[in-house]
């Protein structure tokens, strides 16, 4: 992992004055460590990891404040001997979503500028191949993200071509890129851990002559009685690049029933290992995606549809509850009589519920306050509340089939089945 000494001028001076960074620091300073790190279960995005590095740097150095631009004009970012421009968009302030990143296969905008023409062409070829796969799968969400990446790459290739023609003597720069470390970090931030065996298996796969390889991992985040195994799938490109393409998650319960689903890996739209466990255990997860019909980034809750047959690819279809379905998690929490020791705990609880987690809560019951657990049920716009032993409050129903308690009234919501 990079150190604070590796922070760029942009990281040290511009990022700290963005709303996204300020909101992150506010959350960190006003949240107890056990809640901020979610008892060690929080999976930080690459952007959040950078924010933590900047926070540490700012606390150890006395830096001169730079006034924040009042307009959305491009801010020049220095990278080596080259300069690139990036707009600071309001979208970054409004979305703290792990599925939305500005990188392409792990490369930031400045890193993409430092890639050779051949490397950019290989990335473009890879993205076009991925788009064809998702086109066959009819996955409109993945297609829209990949299409935006293709357009970015085409624009960058065109931009570099113009610059090279105007500066024929320009020396092509290369980027020192630790591919093995990047993949290890990617596995860590997606929640697969830092186990030495996992790292050794990854290194063996990279060194092997095979164009494709798989490594295994196990989750410790499943509910008691459930086990979840992962098969992580990698692919090598012609120029030696190694890409984490997808992972197969398989859950087995006490009845020896097995449920498996293949989760696509993309920097813009990837479910973490914990979110995959939550989905396989029947809970809903909130995502944000680019809706090509409205050209807007919109929220949606998704869950796996275990009632319908699997697709030809062996995956479950998704049930989706879009923005117009009107799910307001904060309002649901407010109506559920939850009790919070501090106001900021409420926001943390909302975020955790939207990830599909089983969350420890306090709530009012029979003129008293008891400790228990809660699960968000977006389909019916409510919370399922449980005691400490995971028995459903009032119904004494164990935690299984959480969202199958009654048939969904299809007249109330338009659902689409998508493949991912």
Q: What is the pLDDT of residue 162?
A: 52
Residue 390 and residue 398: Cα distance in Å, rounded? 6
Give the total residue count for the chain: 420
**pLDDT tens-place string over residues 27-82:** 888 887 767 777 677 788 878 888 888 888 877 754 333 233 333 333 323 333 33
Mean pLDDT throughout 368-372? 90
| Cβ–Cβ under 8 Å, residues 357 and 274 | yes
Q: What is the pLDDT of residue 91?
A: 27
* DSSP 8-state secondary structure symbol assigned to residue 391: B
312 or 94, greater pLDDT: 312
| Cβ–Cβ under 8 Å, residues 278 and 356 | yes
| Cβ–Cβ under 8 Å, residues 371 and 341 | no
- The DSSP-derived string for 66-116 is -PPPSS---EEEEETTEEEEE---THHHH---TT--S-BTTB-HHHHHTS-
| Cβ–Cβ under 8 Å, residues 182 and 202 | no
3-state secondary structure of 252: strand
Among 1-10, 19-28, 100-109, name the most confident range: 19-28
Percent of the chain with pLDDT over 90: 34
Residue 139 and residue 132: Cα distance in Å, rounded? 10
**pLDDT tens-place string over residues 6-17:** 677 677 776 777
pTM: 0.57
Which residues, 6 or more positions from 368, have their beta carbon under 8 angstroms from its beta carbon?
Answer: none
Mean pLDDT throughout 301-323? 92
Pairing of strands 212-219, 75-79: unpaired
User: If you search the block for the tokens 């809706």, which residue do you land on?
Assistant: 291
Percent of the chain with pLDDT over 70: 71
Q: What is the pLDDT of residue 33?
A: 75
27 or 230, greater pLDDT: 230
| Cβ–Cβ under 8 Å, residues 363 and 369 | yes
Six-digit token string for 10: 């942009």
| Cβ–Cβ under 8 Å, residues 340 and 352 | no
Task: Indicate whether 267 pLDDT > 80.
Answer: no
22 or 351, greater pLDDT: 351
Residue 49 and residue 2: Cα distance in Å, rounded? 10
Which pLDDT band holds residue 177 (cuts at 50, 70, 90)?
A: low
Q: What is the pLDDT of residue 160?
A: 65
Tell me the helix, strand and coil percentages in the chain, rounded to 5. Answer: 35, 25, 40
Task: Indicate whether 151 pLDDT > 50.
Answer: yes
Lowest mean pLDDT among 12-21, 280-289, 334-343: 12-21
What's the distance, Cα to Cα, between the start and end of the chain in Å?
30
Task: Indicate whether 234 pLDDT > 80.
Answer: yes
Positions of E strands within 193-316: 212-219, 227-236, 242-252, 258-264, 285-291, 296-305
Pairing of strands 285-291, 258-264: unpaired
Cα dist. 79→76, 120, 121, 185, 270 in Å?
10, 17, 21, 22, 28
Q: What is the pLDDT of residue 406?
A: 33
The C-alpha R_g of the chain, in whole angstroms, comes to: 23
Mean pLDDT throughout 187-199? 92
| Cβ–Cβ under 8 Å, residues 301 and 321 | yes
Sequence-distant contacts of 332-336: CB under 8 A, at least 24 apart: 332/376, 332/381, 332/382, 332/383, 333/383, 335/382, 336/363, 336/374, 336/382, 336/383, 336/385
């Amino acid at each position: 992992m990079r150190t604070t000494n590796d922070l760029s001028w942009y990281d040290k001076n511009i990022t700290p004055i963005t709303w996204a960074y300020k909101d992150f620091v506010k959350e960190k300073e006003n949240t107890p460590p056990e809640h901020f790190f979610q008892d060690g279960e929080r999976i930080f995005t690459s952007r959040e990891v950078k924010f933590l590095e900047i926070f540490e740097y700012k606390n150890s150095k006395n830096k001169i404040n730079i006034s924040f631009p009042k307009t959305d004009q491009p801010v020049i970012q220095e990278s080596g001997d080259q300069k690139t421009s990036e707009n600071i968009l309001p979208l970054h302030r409004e979305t703290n979503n792990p599925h939305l990143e500005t990188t392409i296969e792990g490369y930031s905008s400045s890193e993409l500028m430092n890639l050779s023409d051949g490397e950019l062409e290989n990335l473009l070829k890879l993205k076009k191949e991925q788009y064809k796969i998702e086109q066959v799968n009819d996955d409109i969400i993945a297609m829209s993200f990949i299409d935006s990446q293709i357009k970015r790459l085409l624009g960058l290739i065109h931009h570099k071509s113009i610059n090279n023609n105007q500066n024929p003597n320009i020396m092509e720069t290369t980027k020192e890129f630790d591919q093995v470390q990047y993949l290890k970090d990617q596995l860590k931030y997606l929640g697969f851990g830092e186990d030495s065996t996992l790292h050794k298996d990854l290194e063996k796969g990279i060194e092997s002559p095979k164009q494709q390889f798989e490594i295994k991992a196990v989750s410790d985040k499943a509910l008691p009685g459930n086990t979840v195994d992962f098969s992580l799938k990698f692919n090598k490109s012609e120029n030696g690049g190694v890409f984490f393409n997808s992972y197969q998650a398989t859950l087995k319960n006490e009845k020896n029933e097995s449920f498996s689903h293949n989760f696509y890996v993309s920097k813009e739209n990837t479910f973490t290992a914990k979110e995959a466990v939550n989905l396989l255990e029947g809970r809903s997860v909130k995502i944000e995606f680019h809706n090509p019909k409205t050209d807007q980034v919109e929220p949606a809750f998704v869950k796996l549809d275990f009632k319908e047959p699997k697709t030809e690819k062996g995956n479950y279809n998704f049930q989706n509850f879009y923005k117009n379905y009107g799910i307001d998690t904060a309002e649901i929490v407010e109506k559920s009589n939850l009790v919070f020791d501090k106001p900021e705990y409420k926001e943390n609880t909302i975020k955790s519920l939207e990830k599909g987690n089983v969350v420890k809560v306090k709530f009012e019951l029979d003129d008293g306050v008891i400790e228990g657990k809660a699960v968000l049920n977006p389909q019916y716009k409510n919370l399922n509340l449980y005691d400490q032993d995971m028995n459903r409050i009032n119904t004494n129903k164990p935690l299984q089939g959480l969202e199958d308690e009654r048939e969904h009234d299809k007249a109330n919501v338009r659902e689409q089945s998508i493949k991912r």
